Amino acid sequence: MTNSAKDLRICIVDGDPICRELYKQYLYNMRFFKIDLFKDGQECIKMLDKKIPDLVFVDHQLASSDCLENLKRIKRINPDIYIVFISEPGDIDLAIHALKLGAFDYIVKGEKEEEMIHNVVRRILEVMKVFSRKVSF
């Protein structure tokens, strides 16, 4: 998919425009600039015909069943896409269900979102490196 960390293509799917922009800024601060923002999973899935992201952040509040269904659709389109589920503190059961459906990890919304996003992206880059996707840091 990508040859360097700077080329990592990332999608953020969140119904809240403030959260979308905030997460985008966190990723910009990490020097990632190929970021697409979507207000819902359907928009993101339509885009997958044109360009395949390496990583998708999906907010749980897009209606839990739709969100989980979109996760399954994305994984069917390309199982190599890393999906990170973003949940509220009380929605751990939903996040665990997302992991069972193929999400790489989940982030709990709150005070340490930037740190959690940073950590999960770094772990994904390490996994990509191990699996010979030739990612250079």
Query: Where are the strands (E) in the chain, listed by range?
Result: 9-13, 34-38, 55-59, 82-87, 105-108
Q: What is the dihedral of CA 42, 74, 14, 126, to 10 degrees?
A: -160
pLDDT, tens only, 59-117? 877 655 577 888 888 999 899 999 999 888 877 888 888 899 999 999 988 879 999 99
pLDDT of residue 89: 81
Closest CA to 46 of 85, 74, 69: 74
| Helix/strand/coil for 49 | coil
Q: List the CATH code of the domain at 5-130.
A: 3.40.50.2300
pLDDT, tens only, 6-65? 789 999 999 889 999 999 999 999 999 999 999 988 888 888 888 889 999 998 776 555
Q: Which residues, other chains included, contact 56 with Cβ-Cβ below 8 Å and sequence gap of 6+?
A: 10, 11, 12, 13, 44, 74, 81, 82, 83, 84
Domain ranges of the chain: 5-130
The number of CA neighbours under 13 Å toward the Cβ of 131 is 9
